[in-house]
């Protein structure tokens, strides 16, 4: 049986952040711990400002959850694994509340937040054999073969988001997210994404370290970990209470939110550069969870870029619109910069730099 909970304690490392519970209408209620109010920071500045009192989530868009806690939950692939594993145990995952699901994340989630009581699924033995893990993933995807290692895959997935299969592994002092092809991916998707990461760096985009495992499986180093230290992270989806399952944001909103959060115009230019790259190279799956912010002692900053790969987007449109356009032109890119107060000469220089350096993967090539 999976235990159910009426409340959970939220921690950031060893520090109690607060407590969450559910209302009779199954809306999440959160209250900061008194000590965290004195020495902590707002974990979600727009919706959970650092002050005393109860905060109640709205029903939409996260089924009564706050965006920052929704970021902790697994997404498409992770939910599929959980469904399969619990079905094998005779348990219906649909019956679990959001608190039960967060308890299943426990201390194994992305970012720094941890939820107690911690009931995340752990496999007794570690296995980092990429070929073996890829084979087990393929069995799950095929739906014609049964994997005897669902518990291992659930453990290895952590609460990583996205639809593509992935595992979390450690290699020395580094932690990596390794991706495997989904049934919808073109051949060689790992090499394609690795090439995009190389080109993105040439374009001046900050990227985490990336590499190919076994010359085919794309991996990116986790930036929510520095050694054993966990880094608090919130996506644009969590920050702005915006769904990532359908178009909900414009780059104008993300850049404005970035400046309001970080108070650093350089983060705005970094987002502007990333927007150009996404438009020129056909990365249309630029949804609200594909932009994140990290918190440190120095405050908030934009995270390194991730999930840069050609994709059809939402009905052929960019999931995050560009000045309201799903299939933007150059003028729309500069319109975003104008609306967000960016310098025209600097915008022009960034555009030319990205345009020149992404020549090998540009859509007009």
pLDDT in tens, 148-173: 788 888 888 876 667 789 999 988 88
Has residue 176 got a pLDDT over 70?
Answer: yes
What six digits make up the tokens of 311?
Answer: 């994709």
What pairing do the DSSP bridges indicate for beta strands 229-230 and 232-235?
A: unpaired
When pLDDT is averaged across residues 266-279 and rounded to a whole number, the result is: 98
Tell whether 200 is covered by a domain.
yes
How many percent of the chain have pLDDT more than 70? 96
User: Per residue in 284-334, pLDDT tens?
Assistant: 999 999 999 999 999 999 999 999 999 998 899 999 999 999 999 999 999
How many percent of the chain have pLDDT more than 90? 71
User: How distant, in Å, are the alpha carbons of 137, 194, 259, 301 from that of 266?
Assistant: 40, 26, 9, 10
Tell whether 262 is covered by a domain.
no
Tell whether 204 is covered by a domain.
yes
DSSP, residue by residue, 295-315: EETTEEEEPPP-----B-TBT
Torsion of CA 66, 55, 240, 290, to 10 degrees: -30
* 186 vs 69: which has the higher pLDDT: 69
Which residues are CB-contacts of 124 (< 8 A; sequence separation ≥ 6)?
none
Give how many domains the chain has, as a whole number. Answer: 1
Tell whether 210 is covered by a domain.
yes
Residue 144: predicted pLDDT: 64
Residue 204, domain extent: 130-226
* 349 vs 6: which has the higher pLDDT: 349
Tell whether 110 is covered by a domain.
no
Which residues are CB-contacts of 354 (< 8 A; sequence separation ≥ 6)?
203, 204, 273, 276, 277, 280
How far is it, in rounded angstroms, from Cα 333 to Cα 328?
7
Has residue 1 got a pLDDT over 60?
Answer: no
What SS3 class is residue 344? helix
> Are 278 and 284 within 8 A, CB to CB?
yes
Band the pLDDT of 259: cuts 50, 70, 90: very high
Q: Could you tell me the CATH number of the domain that includes residue 137?
A: 3.30.200
Residue 77: predicted pLDDT: 84
Tell whether 146 is covered by a domain.
yes
Against a cut of 0.85, is the pTM above it? yes
What six digits make up the tokens of 215?
Answer: 């010359």
Tell whether 61 is covered by a domain.
no
Tell whether 260 is covered by a domain.
no
Band the pLDDT of 335: cuts 50, 70, 90: very high
């Amino acid at each position: 049986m999976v235990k159910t909970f009426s409340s959970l304690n939220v921690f950031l490392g060893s520090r109690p952040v607060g407590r969450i519970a559910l209302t009779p209408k199954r809306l999440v209620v959160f209250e900061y711990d008194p000590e965290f109010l004195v020495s902590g920071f707002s974990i979600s500045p727009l919706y959970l400002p650092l002050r005393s009192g109860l905060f109640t989530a709205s029903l939409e868009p996260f089924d009564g959850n706050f965006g920052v806690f929704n970021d902790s939950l697994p997404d498409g692939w992770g939910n599929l694994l959980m469904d399969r594993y619990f079905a094998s145990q005779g348990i219906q995952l649909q019956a679990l509340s959001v608190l039960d699901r967060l308890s299943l994340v426990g201390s194994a989630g992305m970012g720094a937040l941890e939820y107690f009581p911690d009931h995340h699924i752990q496999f007794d033995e570690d296995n980092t054999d990429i070929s073996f893990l890829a084979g087990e993933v393929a069995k799950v995807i095929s739906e014609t073969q049964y994997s005897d290692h669902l518990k291992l895959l659930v453990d290895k997935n952590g609460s990583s988001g996205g639809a593509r299969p992935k595992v979390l592994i450690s290699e020395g002092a580094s932690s990596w997210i390794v991706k495997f092809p989904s049934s919808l991916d073109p051949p060689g998707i790992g090499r394609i994404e690795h090439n995009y990461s190389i080109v993105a760096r040439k374009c001046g985009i900050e990227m985490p370290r990336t590499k190919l495992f076994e010359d085919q499986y794309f991996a990116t180093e986790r930036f929510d970990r520095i050694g054993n230290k966990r880094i608090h992270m919130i996506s644009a989806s969590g920050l702005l209470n915006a769904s990532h399952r359908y178009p909900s944001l414009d780059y104008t909103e993300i850049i404005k939110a970035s400046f309001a959060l970080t108070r650093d115009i350089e983060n705005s230019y970094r987002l502007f550069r990333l927007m150009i790259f996404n438009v020129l190279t056909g990365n249309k799956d630029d949804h609200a969870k594909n932009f994140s912010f990290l918190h440190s002692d120095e405050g908030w900053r934009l995270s390194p870029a991730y999930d840069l790969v050609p994709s059809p987007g939402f009905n052929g449109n960019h999931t995050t619109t560009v000045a309201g356009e799903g299939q933007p032109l150059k003028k729309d890119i500069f319109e975003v910069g104008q609306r967000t107060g960016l310098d025209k000469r600097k915008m022009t220089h960034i555009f030319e730099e990205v345009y020149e350096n992404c020549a090998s993967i540009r859509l007009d090539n």
